Homo-oligomer: A and B are copies of this chain.
Amino acid sequence: MKPKGFIRRTRQREAILEVLRSTKSHPTADWVYQEVRKEMPHVSLGTIYRNLRTLSENGEILELSYGSNHSRFDANSECHYHFICESCGSIEDLEMDCLPELEKKVEKIGDYEVFTHRLEFHGICPDCSREESQSHLN
């Protein structure tokens, strides 16, 4: 979140960004590591972590943290909302307009200076609820 000075374009950094942009799955650092390693067998996990941090501090990617476990990352840093499925654990982007008026609402409450907001929904995703209803047929 703190803007950084100049950040270099390194092969590793580019590879990480490319991997992140190639998926809609909000992967973990380790998944990114495994992917990048396919093209670049000697990258280190440390580099992955350092870059994910740098990139998210620069606003190029989003760091999501749900549950107390590992972070997930999203190359889409535009305002959008997530749905977290409590059955399969997937995180998907919702096709839902961004609601900037929410931030205005907060600024009306008091002297808050709002930079961003985050909205997420928890429940059962379409895929899982389909499976659930089918399991009734047994």
Contacts and interface: CB of A to CB of B under 8 A. Distances in A.
Given A96-B106, A106-B96, A118-B122, A83 B68 contact: no
A123 B110 CA distance: 12
A77 interface: no
Contacts of A117: 119-122
Contacts of A111: 126, 129-130
A116 B122 contact: yes
Contact of A1 (B86, B112, B130): B86
Given A86-B1, A102-B119, A103-B121, A113 B96 contact: no
B126 A110 contact: yes
Contacts of A86: 1, 115
A65 interface: yes
Contacts of A121: 102-103, 106, 112, 114, 116-118
A106 B122 contact: no
Interface in A63-87: 63, 65-68, 70-71, 83, 86
Interface of A: 1, 63, 65-68, 70-71, 83, 86, 94-96, 102-103, 105-106, 109-126, 129-130
11 contacts: A63-B67, A65-B66, A94-B106, A96-B109, A102-B119, A111-B126, A112-B126, A113-B123, A114-B121, A116-B121, A118-B118
